[in-house]
Amino acid sequence: MLEELNEASAPPLEVHDLTVTYHKRPALYGIDLVVPRGQLVGVVGPNGAGKSTFIKAIMGVVKPASGWVKLFGKTGKAGLPFVGYVPQRESVDWDFPVSVYDVVLMGRYGRIGIGRRPGKADHEAVMEALERVKMTPFMHRQIGGLSGGQQQRVFLARALAQDTPLYLMDEPFAGVDAATEAAIIELLQSLKEQGKTILVVHHDLATAKQYFDRLILLNLRLVAYGETAKVFTPALLQKTYGGRLTILSEVAQVVGQVEEGMDKHD
C-alpha cells in the first residue's frame, strides 16, 4: 500500500476549515493548513489550546463539526495506514499484561492483516525498531515495569515498526529524562532525513525553536503556521499564550527562553 505514494502524491497532511466541538463548545475552530513532506513540525500552545484534539481529529478519533482532513490526499480511514501514532504516555493502561516486544509488534498489525500471523519481515522490523530506541535488552519485560522514559521509547519503537511516511506524536518528550529526550530528537531527525514527515505536540518553547523546521501555533484557532524562524516571534507567541507567557526582556529578536512556570501540558 505504501508503494502507492510517490513524488507526485498529495501532501502528507491537509486540513481545511477544521472545527471540533465538545458538548457544543469549540475545542478547535476553522483550522486551515498544509504540511509538506519531509518536515519536522511542532504543535505548540497553552493548556487547553486543542493540541491533542488536533491530533485526534487527524486520526479520526474525534469527528469534526465541520471541515475535513486529508492524509496524502485520502479522507477518512483510507489515509490511516500511512500514519504512525505515538499517544500521550498517561493515556495508556500500563498495567495491561503485555511485553515490550508484543507492544512493538502491534505496530505491524496494519501490514499483517486480519487473521494472518506475523512473518519473518515483521519480526525483523520489530527487532530493528527496538534496536533503534535501545530497548532490545528489555524486550521481554512487562511494560508496567519500565521507567517513564523507557515506556516512551517502546511506543516510539511501535511507531517505527509501522514504517509509515507520516508520524503523529502527542507529547513524546513529556516526563522523560534528558538522555531520553536527546535520543528521541536524534531519532526524529533521522526519520526526517529519510523523507518522513513528523508532527509533534510539544510544550517546551525553550527547545521548540531548535527542534522543529515548522511550528503550528494553536489556541483554539490557528494563530500562526510556518517556518520556525518566521513564526517564533515575541508578537506571535504573545498572541498565542496571552498573559501566560513572559518574554525575557533581554531577548531582542527571537525568543529563546520562557519562564518555567508556564503551562506545560495540553
Distance, CA of 171 to CA of 193 (rounded, Å): 21
Domain count for the chain: 1
Domain assignment present for 131: yes
Q: What is the pLDDT of residue 174?
A: 85
Residue reference for cell 481545511: 16
Range(s) of the domain holding residue 195: 2-244
Which grid coordinates belong to 265? 501540558
Domain assignment present for 254: no
Q: Assign residue 160 the CATH number of its domain.
A: 3.40.50.300
Residue 188, pLDDT > 60, answer yes
* Reported pTM: 0.84
Q: What is the pLDDT of residue 257?
A: 40
Q: What is the pLDDT of residue 135?
A: 94
Domain assignment present for 260: no
Instruction: With cut-offs at 50, 70 and 90, classify the pLDDT of residue 169.
Output: very high
The string of DSSP codes covering 59-72 is HTSS--SEEEEEET
Instruction: With cut-offs at 50, 70 and 90, classify the pLDDT of residue 109.
Output: confident
Q: What is the pLDDT of residue 3?
A: 47
pLDDT tens for 144-159 read 888 888 888 898 999 8
Q: Which range among 36-45, 47-56, 79-88, 229-238 shows the weakest confidence by mean pLDDT? A: 79-88
> Quick one: CA dihedral 247, 251, 253, 258, positive or negative?
negative
Domain assignment present for 264: no
Highest mean predicted confidence (pLDDT) among 25-29, 118-122, 228-232: 228-232
Domain assignment present for 262: no
- Phi, psi (rounded to 5 degrees) for 40: -105, 110
Distance, CA of 193 to CA of 40 (rounded, Å): 10
Distance, CA of 153 to CA of 3 (rounded, Å): 27
Q: What is the pLDDT of residue 6?
A: 52
Q: What is the mean pLDDT of the chain?
A: 85
DSSP structural state of residue 150: H
- Phi, psi (rounded to 5 degrees) for 219: -155, 80
Q: What is the pLDDT of residue 244?
A: 54
Q: What is the pLDDT of residue 237?
A: 93
Domain assignment present for 256: no
Which grid coordinates belong to 187? 531519532
Residue 75, pLDDT > 60, answer yes
Residue 57, pLDDT > 90, answer yes
Domain assignment present for 252: no
Q: Are 41 and 216 in contact (CB under 8 A)?
A: yes
Q: What is the pLDDT of residue 5?
A: 57
Q: What is the pLDDT of residue 123?
A: 94
Which grid coordinates belong to 65? 463539526
Closest CA to 8 of 37, 30, 28: 37
Q: What is the pLDDT of residue 127?
A: 96
Instruction: With cut-offs at 50, 70 and 90, classify the pLDDT of residue 220.
Output: very high
Residue 28, pLDDT > 90, answer yes
Residue 199, pLDDT > 70, answer yes
Q: What is the pLDDT of residue 1?
A: 46
Average the pLDDT over 103-129 and give the result. 85
Amino acid in position 233: T
Judged on CB neighbours under 10 Å (0-12, 13-18, 19+), 182 is exposed
Distance, CA of 188 to CA of 200 (rounded, Å): 10
DSSP structural state of residue 219: E
Residue 111, pLDDT > 60, answer yes
Q: What is the pLDDT of residue 117?
A: 84
> Quick one: CA dihedral 169, 54, 257, 190, positive or negative?
positive
CA 124 from centroid of its chain's CA atoms: 25
Q: What is the pLDDT of residue 35?
A: 97
Domain assignment present for 18: yes
